[in-house]
């Protein structure tokens, strides 16, 4: 019995030691830069940046309550390229193991008439296959 307990304990410790180690300071830097890059990519129609950040199974909900996926976001970013400038601010991160919740705000200003729209958002990131991927997003329009 003692041998079985020792064997089970040894296997458990081995499995935990093989699990992915996450450097949260590096993750903070990557996710914060990625959040800013995502907004900038949408304003410029930069689909390569969006493809790098978004998971293939990404799902989002815009401020009108409409859901969208990665393919839709790529299409819409091309259609709205260079119509707005953006500013991303107040990014906060909270980790739950291999999941990160990012929250922040954005101001989008229309180039044609300088009107602006402010929103806040919550994004969900997961660490899988040794990288952080954005898997979900939700926006709330403030004005």
Kindly report, residue by residue over 107-138, the tens digit of the pLDDT.
999 999 999 999 999 999 999 999 999 999 99
Q: pLDDT, tens digit, for every residue of 1-31?
A: 555 554 444 454 444 444 568 999 999 999 9
Task: Report the pLDDT value the prediction gives residue 20, as an integer from 0 to 100.
Answer: 67
Task: Report the pLDDT value the prediction gives residue 123, as an integer from 0 to 100.
Answer: 98
Segment 51-60 shows an average pLDDT of 96
Task: Report the pLDDT value the prediction gives residue 100, as an integer from 0 to 100.
Answer: 98
Confidence of residue 46 (pLDDT cuts 50, 70, 90): very high
Burial of 79 (0-12, 13-18, 19+ CB in 10 A): exposed
Segment 38-61 shows an average pLDDT of 94
Task: Report the pLDDT value the prediction gives residue 134, as an integer from 0 to 100.
Answer: 98
Structure tokens, 39: 């907004």
| C-alpha–C-alpha distance, residues 53 and 32, integer Å | 11
Q: What are phi and psi of 78, to 5 degrees?
A: -70, -40
Segment 46-60 shows an average pLDDT of 95
Q: pLDDT, tens digit, for every residue of 84-100?
A: 999 999 999 999 999 99
The CA–CA distances, whole Å, from 115 to 83, 86, 88, 135 equal 11, 12, 17, 30
What b/e readout covers 93-117, taking b as 16+ CB neighbours within 10 angstroms? beeeeeebebebebbbeeeeeeeee
Q: Facing residues of 120 across strands? A: 105, 140
């Amino acid at each position: 019995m003692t041998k079985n307990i020792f064997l089970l304990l040894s296997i458990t410790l081995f499995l935990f030691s093989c699990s992915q180690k996450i450097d949260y300071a590096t993750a903070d830097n990557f996710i914060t830069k990625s959040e800013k890059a995502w907004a900038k990519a949408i304003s410029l129609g930069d689909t390569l940046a969006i493809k790098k950040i978004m998971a293939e199974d990404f799902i989002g909900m815009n401020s009108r309550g409409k859901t969208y996926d990665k393919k839709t976001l790529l299409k819409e970013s091309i259609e709205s390229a260079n119509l707005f400038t953006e500013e991303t601010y107040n990014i906060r991160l909270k980790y739950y193991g291999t999941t990160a919740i990012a929250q922040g705000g954005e101001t989008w200003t229309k180039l044609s008439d300088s009107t602006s729209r402010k929103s806040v958002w919550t994004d969900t990131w997961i660490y899988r296959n040794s990288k952080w991927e954005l898997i979900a997003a939700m926006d709330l329009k403030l004005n």
